[in-house]
Amino acid sequence: MQLPSLTLILSVVFIIYIIHSIWHLAKLFIPPTCSPDVRCINYFLHHNPQLQMVLFTCPRLRPNSDRDTELTTTIREFNYNTAFEKTITVRLTRETLNNGSLYLHLFVLPRRVSVNHWNDASQASDRVYTRVALSHYQVPSSATYQLLTGGVEKKQLKPVTHIKSSIGVNVLTGITALPLVGMPAELQPYLRTSHDGHFLPIVHFDIMKDRLRNLVEISGNSTVDIKFNYAPVSIGPLRLMLHLNLAFDSLRSVGFADKDLDEVKGIFADTNIYLLCATVFISSMHLLFDFLALKNDVSFWRSRTTLAGLSGRTVMWRAFSQLVIFMYLMDEE
């Protein structure tokens, strides 16, 4: 019996690896099930509680008192099952206008709680809290454009504060419980239990909507309008966003720029996940076939001792064409 060739073995291993990678991505969209013999924890939203959403702004990452924060918006009748868009007006503090920072602090808590100050929300029971930076430092896009055309001096190229004109928020819906054994690792840091033992809603800012095109340079105005987009999210897209968030942190730590990460976000935000998986599979097969074609070309030329039956002019022309393509790619890099 003839043994399989090394090429066949490597090709099969490559195909298995690609299929395994796609399956690993697809498993993110399969919610874990609670069987009768597995201990589970119920979801707080399963009983349709009446909730409200409260937004504060503060120039500090961790507010110290009520004086540091400003109540921006209160959504008393927060329907977490319905997507909506709301324009909120944010007042810019003097610290933010002087190239300082600004953060949005978000609370989701029972509607029965009366919230007028920061301490009312931060000390309430069964609350969910998260925050996101509204400010971002970067070189003004107008200055970058003028630099390309040669019309700006280097002393003007310094980062200034920009404000995000649009932000997105998601709340996990569509599940009733999660098993304690086999709990997805990326969800564990977000699990907090209520007074009755249910795990509280998982609130997450949509990193896919956090794009560089939404950044607006701060002008002299003391207020700015921000589009606040809310949408419920199922467990699959949420787990994918959490994985991507960890991946972006790793890429940023090794020197990737915000522009590079923004392009990666565009791949996932603007492409259907099924189409993305199909693209990965087809591109991988195309890469495999290119490798096999190169291997056959090498084997063919190794076995040739003369150019009998071949056009020398055609061979030289193709070699010259490949050299031109290679030099072009080197120049683009």
168 pLDDT band (50/70/90 cuts)?
very high
Q: Give, to the nearest 10 degrees, the angle between helix 235-253 and helix 258-269.
A: 160
Burial bucket for residue 183 (CB in 10 Å: 0-12, 13-18, 19+): middle
Q: What is the pLDDT of residue 110?
A: 94
311-326, pLDDT tens digit by residue? Answer: 778 878 888 998 999 8
219-241, pLDDT tens digit by residue? Answer: 778 889 999 999 999 998 899 89
Query: Is there a contact between 138 and 158 (Cβ–Cβ < 8 Å)?
Result: no
CA–CA separation, 37 and 105 (whole Å): 40
Which of 29-38, 104-113, 274-283 is modeled with the greatest confidence? Answer: 104-113
What is the chain's length?
333
Mean pLDDT check: name the lowest of 26-40, 60-74, 132-146. 132-146
CA–CA separation, 295 and 147 (whole Å): 46
254-273, pLDDT tens digit by residue? Answer: 888 888 888 888 887 777 77
Summary mean pLDDT of the chain: 86
Query: Is there a contact between 165 and 216 (Cβ–Cβ < 8 Å)?
Result: yes
Helix (H) or strand (E) holding 14: helix 6-26
197 pLDDT band (50/70/90 cuts)?
confident
Nearest to 58 by CA among 129, 163, 119, 131: 131
50 pLDDT band (50/70/90 cuts)?
very high
- CA 142 to chain CA centroid, Å, is 26
SS3 percent helix, strand, coil of the chain, rounded to 5, is: 45, 25, 30
Token pair belonging to 155: 């002393």
145 pLDDT band (50/70/90 cuts)?
very low
pTM value is 0.78
- For the chain, domain boundaries: 33-270
Cα within 13 Å of Cα(118), Cβ side: 14
Nearest to 122 by CA among 198, 65, 170: 65
Cβ neighbours of residue 247 under 8 Å, at least 6 residues apart? none
184 pLDDT band (50/70/90 cuts)?
confident
Q: Counting runs of H as helices and runs of E as strands, what totals does the chain give?
A: 8, 13
